[in-house]
Structure 1
Amino acid sequence: MGTFDAIGIASTGLTVHRKWLDAVSDNLANANNATSTDGAAFQARYVVATSMDYGEPAGVQVAGIELGDAEGRLVHEPTHPLADEEGYVRYPDVDMASQMTQLIMAQRGYQASAAVVDRARESYQSALQIGRN
């Protein structure tokens, strides 16, 4: 393991958690967007992460984004302006409780990766100070 590998590995975690936070915030922002029944509902975004076990340094990366169901869920709202002749509108199939849990996990992961970067930086600075004395 190289001298600055801890920062490199933690930075890959920061990137993945930032993309996860972006996906969750997009899902939450669009959770109540209604569409007509002849259109597709907003598709939730889910980040797929994978380990980078090749080369140096190791870490994680975003392998892709999976999309939720475009079918969504039908809700009977006859007074909604987008309602069809039977009174239904289509909403995304986004579970707010699940998304809030995902948000907390992504925030904590981001905070942990940022803490690793801070600790590694402090350790490297301390090592430099020892070398100066």
Structure 2
Amino acid sequence: MGTFGAIGIASTGMTVHRKWLDAVSDNLSNVNTVRPTGEAAFQARYVVAQANEYGAQGGVQVGGIALGSAEGRMVYEPDHPLADAEGYVRYPDIDMSAQMTQLIMAQRGYQANAAVVDRAKESYQAALQIGRS
């Protein structure tokens, strides 16, 4: 694998990690979304990654998005405007600490792939300098 192959593979990793960051940020921004009990709760998004085979070139791609439970959590809030006759509303079943862990992992993966691109670029520039000598 040459320098450009490393950049190509790392860029696929960056794309998947960016989509993962997008999904986690969407989940975190909707953690307090309230719905009436007759509606489905916000469903958390989870990125499904899969290997990407391009002949000799590898990498990764987003294979799809998995959705969390639509049932959510029933919370007793009788003063909420969306509460049913019994005083319940529906919140998404999203664990904030698990999402923050996912956020850190996705961020670190993105940074690692960006570092690979930087190192490959530096290697290519060094090879060009040697060729000029």
| TM range, smaller chain | over 0.9
The TM-score normalised by the length of structure 2 is 0.97
- Which structure 1 residue ranges, 5 or more long, are not aligned? none
Identity within the alignment, %: 77
What is the deviation of 1:56?
Answer: 3.3
Q: Report runs of 4+ in structure 1 exceeding 4 Å deviation.
A: none
1:132 counterpart residue number:
132
Number of corresponding residues: 133
- Root-mean-square deviation (CA, aligned residues, Å) is 0.8
Determine the C-alpha separation between the residues in 2 that align with 1:56 and 1:41.
Answer: 44
Unaligned runs of 5+ in 2: none
Aligned ranges 1:13-52 → 2 under 5 Å = 13-52=13-52
Conserved? CA contact 2:18–2:110, under 8 Å:
yes
- SS of the equivalent of 1:66 reads strand
- The alpha-carbon deviation at position 54 of structure 1 amounts to 4.4
Instruction: Give TM-score scaled by structure 1 length.
Output: 0.97
Contact 2:75 2:89 survives alignment (8 Å):
yes
CA offset digits 1:37-78 (Å, max 9, x no partner): 000100000000011234231001000000000111100111
